[in-house]
Structure 1
């Protein structure tokens, strides 16, 4: 059995007027926000799915279903904290996280250091082990029309020493 496990996650949310836009645990200034049962933080959701997948624990919908009222408008930082607890219970620790946001606007570069700090604190790694990048779709598709946002995440877990 390997001491290392790789996981990948992806999340999509529609962008709508009248919602706060949460990315990586940070409220981003924008005229639209992501629509979802929780706060719809696509970046934290993709990271949760990557962590859960690496530990073979299913997906975010299994652990935090959108049919459960207790998760209505929940802060996704709480979901990521609980996800870390789940992988820790299974004997794993996070080594690093690499994530990509796909959106036309707004530019997220000013928010990245705060996102990295939040994600690092919630997952037990250093800021240097959390990579967050962004790209556009060059105006193509639903992301290009600013109708939605997508996040991809890859993680590496290591079996904790006993």
Structure 2
């Protein structure tokens, strides 16, 4: 049995007047993430978890913020390209477990749609994509609504192996 676990984490600053993309969907809010791409903190954390599981570097290695080709790119494209790399290495994804940390907005109403988007991109069932959210109880940069963060863990399995 050849299985691999990967962990990813990402942070983005928040600023008024920007769109807030999380989990592949636009979440209504007065602030949005700052980044070279659309700054989708959740999809970036999942990309890093996938890449890390196979020791393929990180999201910045494959999609550098110094490359104009990735300026304002939809992070769903980055996740799809990352999934292609995983498949090229002979692996499939068993499941994704992710946590978002932000003070506002409340994410619970959007989780099911995020799960559907991510499951669709990664060829998974919705039940194979877990997304949870928490606050920092007003502490730190997240509590002051200066930024947000996401953590993700993935389990990969060699395509030829059976669990």
Q: TM-score, normalised by structure 1?
A: 0.98
1:56 deviates by: 1.3
Structure 1, gaps ≥5 residues long: none
Shift of 1:18: 1.2
Task: Report what 1:123 is aligned to.
Answer: 122
Task: Provide Cα deviations, 1:50-79, integer angstroms capped at 9, x if missing partner.
Answer: 000001111000000000000000000000
Query: What SS does the corresponding residue of 1:9 show, helix, strand or coil?
Result: strand
Residues in 2 aligned to 1:18 and 1:24: alpha-carbon distance in whole angstroms = 19
Moved over 6 A (4+): none
CA contact (8 A) 1:55 1:92 kept: no
Instruction: Provide the residue aligned with 1:105 in structure 2.
Output: 104
Structural mapping, 1:132-143, within 5 Å: 132-143=131-142
Q: Which residue of 1 aligns with 2:90?
A: 91
Shift of 1:161: 1.1
- Give, in whole Å, the separation in 2 of the partners of 1:88 and 1:9: 18
* 1:41 pairs with 2:36: no
Report the secondary structure of 1:46's partner residue: helix
Looking at structure 1, the residues matched to 91 and 54 of structure 2 have their Cα atoms a distance apart, in angstroms, of 7
Question: CA separation in 2, counterparts of 1:80 and 1:19?
Answer: 21
Q: Please name the residue that 1:145 is paired with.
A: 144
* CA distance in 2: counterparts of 1:124 and 1:158, whole angstroms: 14
Distance in 2 between the 1:55 and 1:88 partners?
11
The TM-score with structure 2 as length reference comes to 0.97
Distance 2:17 2:105 in 1: 16
Separation in 1, partners of 2:50, 2:118? 12
Describe the SS at the equivalent of 2:37.
Answer: coil
CA-atom RMSD, angstroms?
0.8
| Separation in 2, partners of 1:77, 1:38 | 10
Q: How many residues align?
A: 161
